[in-house]
Amino acid sequence: MIAGNPVYVTLTDVAPANMTNEKIADIRRKIMDEMKRVASFADGSPELKEFNERMKSRVIQTRRGLAKFINSPPGFGFRNTGSEWMTHLIDLNRTPGFRKSVTLRPELASVEQLLSSDKNVWRDLVAEWHLADSLPYAVAAVPRPQAIAQGEQDFNARAHAEAEVLEKKYGVTDEQEALRRYKAEYDATTAELERLAQQSANMKFLEHPPLTLDDRLDYKVTKLAGGVPLVASDFENMTSATTGLALRLDGVPQEQLFYLSAMPTLLTQVGVVRDGKAIPFEQMSEMLRKEILSLNSYFSTNFRTGRAELVVRGAGNDAAESERSLEWMKLVLTSPDWRAENLARIRDVVDQTLSGLRNRMQGPEESWVNDPADAYWRQDNPLLLSTSSFLTRSHNVHRLRWLLKDAGEGAQRDSIANFLSNLAGAGAKGSRAELKSLLAAMQGKRDAQVPAGLKSYADDFAGLPDGAKQLATEAAKDFDQLLADIPDATLAKDWEYLSLEMRRDLLVPPAQALTELDAVRKSLLKTGGARMFMIGSVANQQRLAPGVAALLAGLESGGVAPAKYAGVRLVESRVRERAGAGESPVFVGLLNPNSQGGVFLNSAPSVTYADADNRDMLLDYLASRLYGGAGAHAIFIKTWGAGLAYSNGLGGSPGTGRINYYAERTPELPQTLRFVIDELKKAKPDPGLVEYAIAVAFSQFRSASPYETRGEAQAADIADGTPPEAVRKFRRALLDLRRMPNLSDELFKRMNLVYARILPGLGSKASEVRGGVYYVIGPEKQLT
């Protein structure tokens, strides 16, 4: 260990009520006690051997990770690339000697040697590193609602102080006059900077640009047993190999879609049954660390085409590991441990999944805001919502959580059923604040004061048998979370819906829910709904062929009959029901009380790669690129420089078939939109921007991405009906337009007509844009 290097122990999903000085001190004591316990293991004891075996699996995992790390593209220049290489080189520089192993081979071998000894090396190391005899720092991040109001007060104070500075600078006593003078000075400086930074008409794009998204990718499309298509991408310098199996989900009936929402984690995080013997998740995790590089499960979707698949992907650092990864893929797909005997672990995974989904909106805006906007776009597809919308998935997993709870028998079952039936009426008898007081009392919070109108529910709760009371407390916790999603106008109705839904799901025996969940899983295992992708050297691919055949042997022969979905625009119909309106809304806002700024997510239909022969759509697409991208003249840098948004810009892709305007962390949504519109209105035709627009149109590429990303994306494109030939034809059509006389005049004539589709106020009415989505996210003050 490097002197001064901190050791972190992080706990997540901790209830704010537990973030007290006493609880923090207790957690710290438990961690230090565990350090002391490890240091006290007797030499050669079973406890020491078991602990060291777990450490050895981490060494194997580290060695494997380093080998993969140096055999992968570094990603230099890519946005969001971390400092992994810099950190690794710094660590290497700290190792002794002139010649160093980039994969830390001698260092890891030394650690393994220590772990193989019967001596408890931790006794000396824990003492040397002071892990048990120095009081560690403990930090907890606790939500404080008052911080938002305090932040606004501080902001206003800073603005007022700055205005006073301007008043003194211009010798005036009126704040608005000082701001007007500052704006005039600012605008004059901006105009001069724009004059100096004008685009040169001599700038040229490449004469021979890449014509596909990955020109150098060497891949083959073949058919496997049962007609399963395989897209194999060859990288001869790869020592590792990755294999993926994607299974169509559109055969799952609408009433069973909620079972899909947690399926990826339920496949890989609960353990498996091998040869009739259960392998618990903890043991499975240790085995995976020792045996393979990775095993993952996730959804692969395309909102344009409607494709939705469950993917299971395995990888190994060499051929032997890759073969084992195929065995693990088959195990999790065909034998997950979804037995009633494993309910405790299954419930844990469901709760963890639900917590992660509910906390998504507390993360950085860039990581989640596109999700609800895309869901609003494809609200007519319940399958996409169940697999790709964290808001829909959150509700679905909440349902699964209650399906897996045990209502008990006899009096307990009747008591909780009757209680939840009666509780459904509470929403009509109390305000939001009063209902929260009732929920607080049900959770045992001492300072809870239940209002008289709701006291009968608190009395009913107090009279429940112990088992039923525990379930009612869990219901109160969920209500506490879900209240934030319910508007005041429909509070009573939504409260009733949730209470009765929890009751209905709770009364389903957990064993029955597991049987239904398993039936959905089995229904996916059909060759007619499967496709595969493989990334690695030809030699490794050939060696994996028997394992691939064994994996496919676990699938049932036959096709997938697409289920019939209602096709209703679910969100719009719900809004009309709530508002009593006859028409669908044009502008939609998602309330996010955790933020200060607002987010724009506007989009409209545009060109796709299949439109290479549509000259008008190609010209519109090029026109939309004139002020896209990150050029000095582009909306992105202009808005960013004015302090009116952080990540922002005019984007779009033939892959999604939409153009879009995105802006996040806007101080005021209308102000930012006005600024963008004004910038576009004053834009003058510049022939030099034609080459810029073409460059932006060619800016999407994958050739420098990780090998696995390239191979899997190519396979997905082919599944979506967009092979490289379609991209090549599209880009050649753009290059043909490049030679068009007066192309600059044509593009600038179209530019604001195209941008008006995604910028309300620039031209055409938003209500007239067929398929347009005008979606904003922010706190109440931004949306009103």
Question: Which sequence spans correspond to the domains of the chain?
Answer: 16-128, 145-177, 218-406+509-516, 584-783
| Domain 584-783 -> CATH class | alpha beta
What residues does 365 pair with on adjacent strands? none
Read out DSSP for 695-749? HHHT----TTS-HHHHHHHHHHHHHTT--HHHHHHHHHHHHHHHT-TTHHHHHHH
**Tens-place pLDDT, residues 666-688:** 999 999 999 999 999 999 999 98
Whether 218-406+509-516 and 584-783 share one fold: the answer is yes
**Tens-place pLDDT, residues 304-361:** 999 999 999 999 999 999 999 999 999 999 999 999 999 999 999 999 999 999 999 9
**Tens-place pLDDT, residues 594-650:** 888 999 999 999 999 999 999 999 999 999 999 999 998 999 999 999 999 999 999
**Tens-place pLDDT, residues 313-329:** 999 999 999 999 999 99
Which residues, at least 6 apart from 397, have a Cβ–Cβ distance to it below 8 Å? Answer: 261, 262, 350, 353, 354, 357
Cβ pair 199, 631 in contact under 8 A: yes
Q: How many angstroms separate the CA atoms of 665 and 643, rounded?
A: 9
463 has a pLDDT exceeding 90: yes
Which residues, at least 6 apart from 756, have a Cβ–Cβ distance to it below 8 Å? Answer: 762, 763, 764
Least Cα distance to 734 among 605, 622, 607, 610 occurs for 622
Cβ pair 233, 535 in contact under 8 A: yes
| DSSP 3-state of 309 | strand
In this structure, which long-range contacts are made by residues 30-39, counting pairs with CB atoms below 8 Å and at least 24 apart in sequence? Answer: 31/136, 32/131, 32/132, 32/136, 35/126, 35/131, 35/132, 36/126, 36/132, 38/122, 38/126, 39/120, 39/122, 39/123, 39/126, 39/127, 39/132
Burial of 708 (0-12, 13-18, 19+ CB in 10 A): buried
Q: How many CA atoms lie within 13 A of 703 on its CB side?
A: 15
What is the C-alpha end-to-end distance of the chain, expressed in Å? 54
Least Cα distance to 322 among 538, 540, 533 occurs for 540
User: Which pair of structure tokens corresponds to residue 485?
Assistant: 């999603």
Least Cα distance to 445 among 461, 431, 429 occurs for 461
1 has a pLDDT exceeding 50: no
734-748 average pLDDT score: 96
Query: Which CATH code is given to the segment(s) 218-406+509-516?
Result: 3.30.830.10
**Tens-place pLDDT, residues 192-212:** 877 776 655 567 899 999 999
Cβ pair 587, 776 in contact under 8 A: yes
557-576 average pLDDT score: 93
Cβ pair 385, 570 in contact under 8 A: yes
Give the pLDDT confidence score for residue 594 in this predicted structure.
Answer: 84
Name the residue with tokens 């045996």.
291
pLDDT band at 40 (very low <50, low <70, confident <90, very high): very high
Full-model pTM: 0.92
Give the pLDDT confidence score for residue 142 in this predicted structure.
Answer: 82
What's the mean pLDDT when you consider all of the chain? 94
**Tens-place pLDDT, residues 520-540:** 999 999 999 999 999 999 999
Which residues, at least 6 apart from 422, have a Cβ–Cβ distance to it below 8 Å? Answer: 457, 460
Least Cα distance to 689 among 741, 619, 750, 626 occurs for 626
Which residues, at least 6 apart from 186, have a Cβ–Cβ distance to it below 8 Å? Answer: none
31-35 average pLDDT score: 93
Identity (one letter) of the amino acid at 42? Answer: A
User: Which pair of structure tokens corresponds to residue 147?
Assistant: 């911080």
407-435 average pLDDT score: 97
Give the pLDDT confidence score for residue 756 in this predicted structure.
Answer: 98
